[in-house]
Amino acid sequence: MKTAELIAWLQETDASRLEQLWAEADRVRHANVGDEVHLRGLIEISNYCIRRCAYCGLRVERTELARYRMTPDEVMDSARDAVKFGYGTVVLQAGEDPGWRADEIADLIRCIKCETPLAVTLSLGERTPDEWRLWRAAGADRYLLRFETSNRARYDLIHPVGPQGRPSDRIAMLRELRALDYEIGSGVMIGIPGQTYADLARDLETFRELNLDMIGVGPFIPHPDTPLGQAGHRQDACATTAEQPPANELMTFKMIALARLTCPRANIPSTTALATLNIKEGRELGLQRGANIVMPNVTPLKYRALYEIYPAKACIREDGAHCNFCLRGRLASIGRPVGKGQGSVRRDS
């Protein structure tokens, strides 16, 4: 699909035309990754973060936020819960937290791989190649690192320079992770202030160029206690001018569908952010428009409300057992079976 066609679909408003897009994305999903929905157990191991991203509720300047760092025993208990619930993968996610030393993460990975049949996905931000190499050697299977937007100027505006004193190059980091033989995942936000439809089309093309194994897209939902969460910025983020994509549910569905058509074999989650926008059926609609992954939370309940990247996050008051029961019922309601095993992607040759 060429750039102009991607932009046209992103701007499409005709309901009958969009039904054709949903149907084609669902057909391509069925043909390439099947009907199974793989469940990835999310463990939010720390809400400490040294970064100052202008929209994120974990940013270091939020000194009023109670911080936590799970113990290794708590992480292992959560991993065992994931096995008990029948999940094939755990995702260890955190803010960018050097308080979790590289050797401690490696020990956790070894314990999970030794004691369970789980795949291990890491979502720990920008770390060094030596750390990534250590974790891969310890048994980590996948690494998630969102580049958020392929528009470099827009990225720099909302991501202040990191503690290393130099701008990030997450696309280069993803290539480094691929060279280390990780399955790689990335994604973008939809509706960033100043973003254009052409930016989103370029994001989709970047997914294809990187040959991503997992693609996560979601609406731009700034936390209210951040610079971009102030009232004026929130209004800008949701503008529907000729050039600014809205940060809404429909745009997220369009990006999921187009990501599926652009990268047919990728694993694409129907995210918690969709459930936040539409608690009744947001996840289900995502799964019917190209997605094939859901990430139920297995973080201990006492920590969930403290990992509030954006406001009113869905499911933070539910424990892991309730979340598992609810999701399985929702999947059954749309006739989609739960996947067995680790659900690794079949990469393009």
Tell me the pLDDT tens digit for each residue of 232-285: 554 444 445 678 999 999 999 999 999 999 999 999 999 888 888 888 899 999
Ranges assigned E (strand) in 124-274 = 142-144, 183-190, 214-219
Query: Residue 311: its pLDDT value, please?
Result: 83
7-11 mean pLDDT = 97
Contact partners, residue 92, CB within 8 Å, separation at least 6:
43, 45, 75, 105, 108, 120, 121, 122, 123, 124
Contact 42, 300 (CB under 8 A): no
Q: Mind listing the pLDDT tens digit for each residue in 91-148? A: 999 999 999 999 999 999 999 999 999 999 999 999 999 999 999 999 999 999 999 9
Residue 25, classed as helix, strand or coil, is: helix
164-193 mean pLDDT = 92
pLDDT at 290 over 60: yes
Q: H or E element: which one contains 115?
A: helix 102-115
Query: Residue 236: its pLDDT value, please?
Result: 47
Residue 135, classed as helix, strand or coil, is: helix
The pair of structure tokens assigned to 195 is 């973003």
Contact 190, 196 (CB under 8 A): no
Structural domain includes residue 235: yes
Query: Residue 346: its pLDDT value, please?
Result: 55
pLDDT at 151 over 50: yes
Instruction: Please state the pTM of the whole predicted model.
Output: 0.94
Contact 207, 262 (CB under 8 A): yes
Structural domain includes residue 157: yes
Query: Residue 239: its pLDDT value, please?
Result: 46
Structural domain includes residue 342: no
Structural domain includes residue 261: yes
Contact partners, residue 69, CB within 8 Å, separation at least 6:
45, 46, 48, 97, 99, 100
Greatest alpha-carbon pair distance for the chain in Å reads 54
Residues 301, 298: Cα–Cα separation, whole Å: 8
Q: Mind listing the pLDDT tens digit for each residue in 157-173? A: 999 876 666 778 999 99
Query: Residue 348: its pLDDT value, please?
Result: 39
Domain range for 63: 3-333
**Lowest-confidence segment of 45-49, 143-147, 173-177, 324-328 by average pLDDT:** 324-328
Contact 259, 268 (CB under 8 A): yes
- Among candidate residues 96, 95, 61, the one with its CA nearest the CA of residue 229: 61
Query: Residue 58: its pLDDT value, please?
Result: 96
Residue 210: C-alpha distances to residues 14, 93, 121, 147, 260 (Å): 31, 22, 18, 11, 14
User: Across the beta sheet with 38-46, what order do the strands follow?
Assistant: 214-219, 183-190, 142-144, 119-123, 89-94, 38-46, 293-294
**Lowest-confidence segment of 9-23, 144-158, 220-234, 302-316 by average pLDDT:** 220-234
Which CATH number is 39's domain given? 3.20.20.70
* Total of domains in the chain: 1
